[in-house]
Amino acid sequence: MARQRPRPPATTHRHLEPLYERCWVCGRGLWNFDTHSRTVATLDGLVHYTLTIRACPNPTCERFRRGYHPEAEGVVALPHSEFGLDVIAFVGTQRYQEHRSVPEIHRLLSARGVGIAARTVTELLHRYEELVTVCLTDRARLQEQLTGQGAVVLAIDGMQPDAGQEVLWVIRDLLAGSVLLARSLLSSTQEDLAALLREVKEGLPVPIRGVVSDGQLAIRAAVKAVLPGVPHQLCQFHYLKEAAMPIYEADRHAKKELKKQVRGVRPIERAVEGREDPVAQATRAYCQAVRSALTDDGRPPLCAAGLQLQERLTAIQASLRGVAKKGDCRASFRVWKSSSTEGSRARPRCGPRSRPPTGGCMRRRGSSTRRRP
């Protein structure tokens, strides 16, 4: 779908020029042939670039009238892309390092002021994958880097963007953080994984000192077969996640029960619709706080969503009680009380919250589902 609203004006303007002033084929002075302008969305805002394009004026030269763009343009964005390379890098790291889903990344970008459609996030993710592939095929650079460090510790992990899709297997070196192999496989049997490990092992100029994985049976068997005697450690994040599973289940149940207590926000919002007085504004702020607390989600093992919700609702309730006690916003509280009885059995408790509606979770799992044996 095409853009429905025009882009806002750029906040920064920059001018780029090519480095060479003389043709490197025939030696003639280059002419300023054309001027291009493009606007690139970066994490720091919209930047408008004016680019000087040069060309050789010599009709007998092979560079005759062939546009020569500023070298620095390549550092800013890919050809024809509206988004900067920093945005592509952000999308890629959020997806593959933080395990965030595309909607989550879209929300993060929107929160940073990058105007982007959710579908474009997926497209940028594809660009990121292509760039990583190009980087991976630069074997000489990788070999040099690995030789310098003397050994590698492998991490093997499979990611499935959506249920039913191929699993992307990534083997990284944890010491340098380099990706050694990335391949999509339809099946993830022991033989498939062993073949990947063998390929990595044979291409390495240094020994493998250890392997870290989530401990899937197929991975365990493959490591045992291809790398006998190499220590294989379970990833601590996965370890914690599995250990916290019973607590997670209890927490999820608690969250479900808590949610039942704060139903009926919409009728309250409707009751003050179209009003701009302080009471209406305060009421809307409380409603927003409840919504934000409800939509916030924590993921195990480091973030208990139910406990987080309970903590936030308690804070909202305390704030509301404070307001009611002061008396200056009694009307707001009355509106609240009367409206809440229309839409739900329970009275919603809410209040402003200084924390933004993102959770404090250290690490999240996105929609990526993991294939288990």
Fill in the DSSP letter of residue 180: E
Query: What is Dmax (Cα atoms) for the chain?
Result: 88
* Cα angle 201, 204, 210; round to 5: 60
What is the closest distance, in whole angstroms, from the C-beta atom of residue 22 to Zn ion in the complex? 8
> Which positions from 305 through 324 interact with Zn ion, judged by CB under 5 A?
none
Residue with Cβ nearer Zn ion (65 or 372):
65
Residue whose CB is less far from Zn ion, 60 or 354: 60
Contact (Cβ atoms closer than 8 angstroms) between residue 158 and residue 371: yes
Instruction: Report the nearest approach of Zn ion to the CB of residue 21 (Å).
Output: 12
Piece in contact with Zn ion (CB under 5 A), picked from 56-64, 109-117, 235-243, 284-292: 56-64
Site size for Zn ion (CB under 5 A) = 7
Residue from 23, 76, 200, 323 in contact with Zn ion (CB under 5 A)? 23
Kindly state the smallest distance separating residue 32's Cβ from Zn ion, in Å: 15
User: Which segment (15-23, 131-139, 201-209, 304-312) binds Zn ion by CB under 5 A?
Assistant: 15-23
Structure tokens at 318: 């305390």
Minimum gap (Å) between residue 166 Cβ and Zn ion: 48
Instruction: Return the residue of 40, 53, 63, 92 that touches Zn ion, per CB under 5 A.
Output: 63
Question: Could you say which of 58, 94, 292, 344 contacts Zn ion (CB under 5 A)?
Answer: 58
The smaller minimum CB distance to Zn ion, of residues 59 and 79, is found at: 59
**Closest distance to Zn ion from the beta carbon of 48 (Å):** 31
Distance CA 176, CA 303 (A): 29
| Sheet containing 232-234: order of strands | 178-185, 167-173, 152-159, 208-213, 232-234
30 binds Zn ion (CB under 5 A): no
66 versus 224: smaller Cβ distance to Zn ion:
66
For residues 189 and 212, give the distance between their C-alpha atoms in angstroms, rounded to a whole number: 18
26 part of the interface to Zn ion, by CB under 5 A = yes
Distance CA 88, CA 321 (A): 46
28 or 363, CB closer to Zn ion? 28
Strands (E) across 198-333 are located at: 208-213, 232-234
Residue span 160-199 as binding mask against Zn ion, x where in contact by CB under 5 A, dash where not: ----------------------------------------
- The window from 24-32, 46-54, 168-176, 313-321 that contacts Zn ion (CB under 5 A) reads 24-32
Which of 25, 117, 118, 135 is in the footprint of Zn ion by CB under 5 A?
A: 25
Interaction of residue 57 with Zn ion, rule CB under 5 A: no
Residue with Cβ nearer Zn ion (10 or 61): 61
Please list, residue by residue across 302-331, b when 16 or more beta carbons sit within 10 angstroms of its beta carbon and e when fewer do: bbbbbebbbebbebbbebbeebbeeeebee
Instruction: Give Cβ neighbours of residue 137 (< 8 Å, ≥ 6 apart).
Output: none
Distance CA 91, CA 119 (A): 12
Q: Check residue 61 for interaction with Zn ion (CB under 5 A).
A: yes
Q: Smallest distance, Å, CB 51 to Zn ion?
A: 20
Q: Count the Cβ atoms, other than its own, within 10 Å of residue 7.
A: 11
User: Applying CB under 5 A, does 33 fall inside the site for Zn ion?
Assistant: no
Q: What minimum distance in Å lies between the beta carbon of 66 and Zn ion?
A: 9
Task: State how far Cα 38 lies from the chain centre.
Answer: 26
Position of tokens 């882009």?
Answer: 7
Distance separating alpha carbons of residues 181 and 226, to the nearest angstrom:
16
Q: Which helix (H) or strand (E) holds 34?
A: strand 31-42
Residue numbers of the site for Zn ion (CB under 5 A)? Answer: 23, 25-26, 56, 58, 61, 63
